[in-house]
Chain A
Amino acid sequence: MEQILLYLSDHMDMIYFIVLSVFVGIEVIGNVPTVLHTPLMSGANAIHGVVVVGAIYVMLHLQADDIGALILGFLAVLLGTLNVVGGFVVTDRMLEMFKKKN
C-alpha cells in the first residue's frame, strides 16, 4: 500500500494529466449528432490502436535471444497495426459516404 502511494505521488503530473484528459474526452464527444455515432466509435477504435506504440517500444528493448518474448512482441505489433490501419481505413470509408450528394 505504501509503495502504491509513493508511486502515485511520484507520478502526480501524470495523474493530473489523466484527470484532465478524461474531461477532454467527454467534452469532445458532447452534442454529436446520432448519425455520426458509428463513425465516431470506429474512429475512437482506431485511436486506441496507439497501444501499438507500446508494443514497438517493448520490442526495441528486448534481448535478441529472448525468443518467447520476441514472438509475443511480434504478435502485439501485428495486432496493434491491424487495429490502427483497419480502424482508420474503415472509418474513412464510412465518412466518405457522407460526402456523396446528388
Chain B
Amino acid sequence: MSLNLPLLEICYLIASITFVVGLKMMGNPKTARKGNLIGAFGMTVAIIGTIVLHDQKVPVFIYGLIGLAIVIGTIVGWLTAKKVAMTKMPELVSLFNGMGGACAALISLIEYPNMQLEAGSMLAVLAGLVIGSVSFSGSMIAFLKLNGTMKKAIRLPAYNILNTVVMISLFIWVAVMILVTGFDGTIMLYLLLALALVYGVLFVIPIGGADMPVVISLLNSFTGLAAAFGGFLYDNKAMLTGGILVGSAGTLLTLVMCKAMNRPLSNVIFGAFGGGSDTAAAGGDSGGSVKDISCADLAVLMNYSKRVVIVPGYGLAVAQAQHVIHDIELLLESRGVEVKYAIHPVAGRMPGHMNVLLAESSVDYGKLFEMDEINPEFSSTDVVLIVGANDVVNPAAKTDPSSPIYGMPILEVDQAAHVIVNKRSMNAGYAGIDNPLFYDPKTSMLFGDAKTVLTTLANELKAL
C-alpha cells in the first residue's frame, strides 16, 4: 500500500490553508506581501505534490511534456510579470486571468470523452468548459480594450437581447448534452466551445474602458468557478478551495468596486453609458469658455500656496508621470507648502491603481488620502492640481440628475480656491460626458501630456 495518495491529500490541505491565510493577509497593507508569498508557497506544494505523489505508471515522455510546459510557463510568466511597466498592470492581470480560463476549458475538452456515463461529472466538465471559455475570450477582449487596441465600446443592435439569448442557449445546450443521449457528442462539444467563446466576446465588447476593472474582477471570479468545477470533477480539495475562494471573494470584490462607483453591477454589464452621447451633446450647450494657465504662472501660484492637493487619474498612468509628480511634491514641500494626494476609489483603471503607481515613485503612503478623508479639506485648500483625471471630479455627479454618473461620489475639488486641470485635450473622459468643472471660473486648464507639462512645471519651480 503506497502512502502517496494520503501524502498528496496532505499537500492539498496545506495548499488550501495557505490560500485562505494568504488571501486574508493580503487584506492588510502590513502583511499583504507575506500573504502573497504564503499563497505561492502553498501553490508550489500542490503542484509538486501532484506531479510526484500518485499511483499511476506514467511514461517518461509525459513527465517530460509536463516539465517542459511548466518550465516554459514559469519563464514566460516570470519575465512578463517582471518586465511589464506598472502602468500596464491591469491588462496583465486580465491576460493571466484569461490563461487560467483557457486552462480550465482545455481540461474539459480532454476529459469529455471519458465522462459519457455520469451526469454529475458531465455537468462539471461542461460547466468548466463554458465558464473557462467565457472567461478566456472575455479577458482577451478586456486586455485589448485596456491596452488601447480596441478603443470604442462596440454595441451590436439590441446587444442586450442578443447576449441574453446566447446565454440562455448555453444553458439549454449544456442541459441537452447531459440529458439527451444518442448523438455525436464531440461535435456538440466543439459547438458549445465556440458558442461560449463568442459569448465571452459579446459580453465584454459593449462595456466601456472605464468599467474594465469591474469586468476583470468578475471574469476573475468566473475563472475561480471554472477551477472549482475542476475540483468537483476530480474531488480535488486544493482546486475546490482555491476556486471557490476566488469565486466568492472575486464576486464580492466586484460588488465593492461597483459600490465605489455608486452603480449596480447590472448597470455596468448592460451599459448605463449607452445614453452617453445624448448627454454629452446636451452637456456641450452648458460649455462656456475655458481658461488656460502657463507653467510659469502655475509655478508661482503653487509656490506661494499653503496647501496643495494633487488628484491623480489615469492620464498620470498613461503619461508615466508618477516620478515627476513626486519631484514636484518634494520641491513644494521644501518651500513649506503642504502637499497631499487625493485618491478616488476608482481613479485609474483599477481601484488602488494610483496608490501602486505613486508608491512606485516612493511617495509616502501617509500622504495619500482617500476620498472621505480629503473631501472636507478642499475648502481650505489653495490649489488643486488634477492630473489626467476627469469623471472622478465631475460636479455633474452631484448636481445634474440627468448625468449618467449622477450619484457617484466625487472628489469635491470645486471647493478649493484654484483648480488646475491637466489634460491632453478637451476630449471627454471615459464616461464620454462633459465636465462642467472645466468651465468653472476658478478652473484653469493646463493642456499637454502630463509628463512633459509637469517636467516644465518642476523646472519652473526650481528656477523660482
- Determine, out of B40-48, B141-149, B297-305, B382-390, the stretch whose residues face the partner at the interface: B40-48
B126 CB–A CB distance under 8 Å: no
Q: Which residues of A contact B118 (CB under 8 A)?
A: 3, 7
- Measured between alpha carbons, how far is A43 from B406 in the docked complex, in Å? 32
A 81-102 to B, binary, CB cutoff 8 A, 1 in contact else 0: 1111111111111111111111
The A-contacting residues of B in range 212-259, CB under 8 angstroms, are 213, 216-217, 220-221, 223-224, 226-228, 230-250, 252-253, 256-257
Task: Report yes or no: B23 in contact with A48, Cβ–Cβ below 8 A.
Answer: no
CB distance from A74 to the nearest CB of B (A): 5
Q: Across the interface, do B110 and A73 meet the contact criterion of CB distance under 8 Å?
A: yes
Q: Smallest distance from the beta carbon of A97 to chain B beta carbons, Å?
A: 4
A73 to B97 Cα, complex, angstroms: 18
Q: Does B182 contact A (CB under 8 A)?
A: no
Q: B248 contacts which chain A residues (CB < 8 A)?
A: 21-26
Interface SS of chain A: helix
> What CA separation (Å) do A80 and B236 show in the bound complex?
16
Give the residues in chain B near A77, CB-CB below 8 Å: 65-66, 69-70, 73, 103
Q: Are B238 and A53 in contact (CB under 8 A)?
A: yes
User: CB distance A25 to B249 under 8 Å?
Assistant: yes
Asked if A86 and B92 sit within 8 Å, CB to CB, the answer is: yes
Binds A, one of B79-87, B278-286, B437-445: B79-87
Is the CB of B198 closer than 8 A to any CB of chain A?
A: no
B9 adjacent to chain A (CB < 8 Å)? no
Q: Evaluate whether A79 and B102 lie within 8 angstroms (CB atoms) in the complex, with A26-B252, A39-B26 already known.
A: yes
Whose C-beta in chain B lies nearest to the C-beta of A23? B248
Could you tell me if B73 and A80 are in contact, using CB atoms closer than 8 angstroms?
yes
Instruction: Give the interface size class of chain A.
Output: 35 or more
Contacts of A22 in B (CB 8 A): 244, 247-248
Q: How far is the CB of B90 from chain A (nearest CB, A)?
A: 8
Q: With A25-B246, A70-B65, A100-B359 known to touch, is A83 a contact of B351 (CB < 8 Å)?
A: no
C-beta contact mask, A21-54 vs B, less than 8 Å → 1, else 0?
1111110111111111111111111111111111
- Given A28-B27, A54-B230, A59-B62, are A39 and B32 also a contact pair (CB < 8 Å)? yes
Question: Which residues from 78 to 116 on chain B have a C-beta closer than 8 Å to any C-beta of chain A?
Answer: 78, 80-82, 84, 86, 89-90, 92-93, 95-97, 99-100, 102-104, 106-107, 109-111
The answer for the CA separation of A76 and B221 in the assembled complex, in Å, is: 19
Is the Cβ of B59 less than 8 Å from the Cβ of A94? no
Indicate if A12 sits at the interface (CB-CB under 8 A): no
Contacts of A48 in B (CB 8 A): 97, 100, 220, 223-224, 226-227, 242-243, 246-247
In the bound complex, residues from chain B placing their C-beta under 8 Å from that of A18 are 228, 232, 240, 244
Select from chain A the residue with minimum beta-carbon distance to B371.
A34
Q: Which A residues touch B243, using CB under 8 A?
A: 48, 50-51
Q: How far is the CA of A74 from the CA of B65 in the complex (A)?
A: 6
- Pick the contact of A43 from B35, B110, B230 — CB < 8 Å? B35
Tell me the interface secondary structure of chain B in the complex.
helix
- Which residues of B, 1-59, contact A by the 8 Å Cβ criterion? 15, 19-20, 22-24, 26-29, 32-33, 35-37, 39-40, 43, 46-47, 50-51, 54, 56, 58-59
Contact among B97, B111, B216, B351 with A34 in the assembled complex (CB-CB below 8 Å)? B351
Q: Roughly how many angstroms separate A55 CA and B368 CA in the complex, as a whole number?
A: 43
- With a cutoff of 8 Å between Cβ atoms, the chain A residues found around residue B100 in the complex are 45, 48-49, 51, 79-80, 83, 87
- The complex places the Cα of A56 from the Cα of B70 at a distance, in Å, of 10
- Residues of B in contact, count (CB < 8 Å): 119
| A35 CB to nearest B CB, Å | 4
A residues within 8 A CB of B260?
A: 34
CB distance from B368 to the nearest CB of A (A): 7
Complex: A98 Cα to B89 Cα, angstroms = 15
**Given the complex of chains A and B, what is the CA–CA distance between A57 and B62 in angstroms?**
11
- Shortest CB-to-CB span from A101 to chain B, Å, is 6
Find out whether the CB atom of A94 lies under 8 angstroms from the CB atom of B65: no
Indicate if the CB atoms of A89 and B81 lie closer than 8 Å. Answer: yes
| Other-chain residue from B32, B82, B99, B352 in contact with A93 (beta carbon distance below 8 A) | B82
Q: List 14 A-B contacts (CB under 8 A).
A: A26-B248, A29-B249, A36-B28, A38-B89, A38-B356, A39-B26, A43-B23, A44-B250, A51-B230, A54-B103, A60-B62, A84-B43, A87-B93, A93-B81
Binding site for B on A (CB under 8 A): 1, 3-4, 6-8, 10-11, 14, 17-18, 21-26, 28-62, 64, 69-70, 72-102
Q: Which residues of chain B have a CB within 8 Å of any CB of chain A?
A: 15, 19-20, 22-24, 26-29, 32-33, 35-37, 39-40, 43, 46-47, 50-51, 54, 56, 58-59, 61-62, 65-66, 68-70, 72-74, 76-78, 80-82, 84, 86, 89-90, 92-93, 95-97, 99-100, 102-104, 106-107, 109-111, 118-121, 123, 178-179, 213, 216-217, 220-221, 223-224, 226-228, 230-250, 252-253, 256-257, 260, 343, 345, 350-353, 355-356, 359-360, 362, 364-365, 368, 370
Which 9 pairs between the two chains have the least Cβ-Cβ distance?
A: A81-B73, A7-B120, A25-B248, A85-B77, A86-B77, A50-B242, A37-B351, A89-B81, A3-B119
